[in-house]
Amino acid sequence: GRRNADLLPSVNATVTLAERMNLRLAAFRTVARPDTREFSPDCYVERVGGLQTCGTPGLRRGLVDNADARWEWYPREGEIVAVSAFA
């Protein structure tokens, strides 16, 4: 079978900018592995739409590097204003 020992690191940090304000940062790696139908040399018909789909035998897993940032402000008890970005 196909075996890969993928290292999937993750780093997270929360920085306090003010008494009611935080900056959260994260970086991590994920893996996308094809299922059996996706790399099978056979074709099959989709249940919805009835389209024929054929697998790609040379398909490999993909490693994805991710990053995100989130600014948070807590103006009053039970309230939050936040802006997030990710790549």
> Which tens digits make up the pLDDT trace of 30-76?
999 888 888 888 998 888 888 998 999 888 889 999 999 999 999 99
- For residues 75 and 20, is the Cβ–Cβ distance under 8 A? yes
C-alpha distance across the termini of the chain, in Å:
32
Distance CA 60, CA 58 (A): 6
- For residues 68 and 26, is the Cβ–Cβ distance under 8 A? yes
| Strand 62-73 relative to strand 10-18, pairing | unpaired
Map tokens 């989130």 to a residue.
70
Binned at pLDDT 50, 70 and 90, residue 2 comes out as: low
pLDDT at 77: 94
Binned at pLDDT 50, 70 and 90, residue 82 comes out as: very high
pLDDT at 53: 87
Res. 78: pLDDT tops 70: yes
Structure tokens given for 17? 């900018």
